[in-house]
Amino acid sequence: MKVKLRRNKILKQNIEVFIGKKLVGTIKKSQNGLVYVTRRRHYDHFFRKFKGFGISKRIINILKDIGVKSIIIVYDTGEGEQLYISALYKWLKDAYEYEYVLEDGTKDPQLVLPVHHMTKLD
């Protein structure tokens, strides 16, 4: 599946990130540079084996190429939301590689960063 970037029609400073037709995150400007914000659910996005979250290597490479500095994960715990922030370089340095297989059999290599490499925001 193809990764596509598209400017938000209303908030033009935001760039939406799609894999195929699925919106997987948004790139936003902050006072500290570009930030990628993505949502994750506990029942299908938390890698228990690695105690962390995964992001497609294709997306990580695009984020690196356009100068994104940080990644924020909005984690739906089932009982509320938690925010985790990490520097992009941590994904390149400390993440595990994992070969995720989509329902159609397509392989989507992931980088999985354990939460102990992230900062939990209150």
Task: Give the H/E segment covering residue 66.
Answer: helix 57-66
pLDDT confidence of 47, banded at 50, 70, 90?
Answer: low
Dihedral sign for Cα atoms in the order 109, 107, 19, 38: negative
Higher pLDDT, 47 or 82: 82
Q: Can you give the pTM of this predicted structure? A: 0.87
State residue 62's pLDDT score: 93
The tens digit of pLDDT for each residue in 65-118 reads 999 999 999 998 888 899 999 999 999 999 999 988 877 888 889 999 999 999
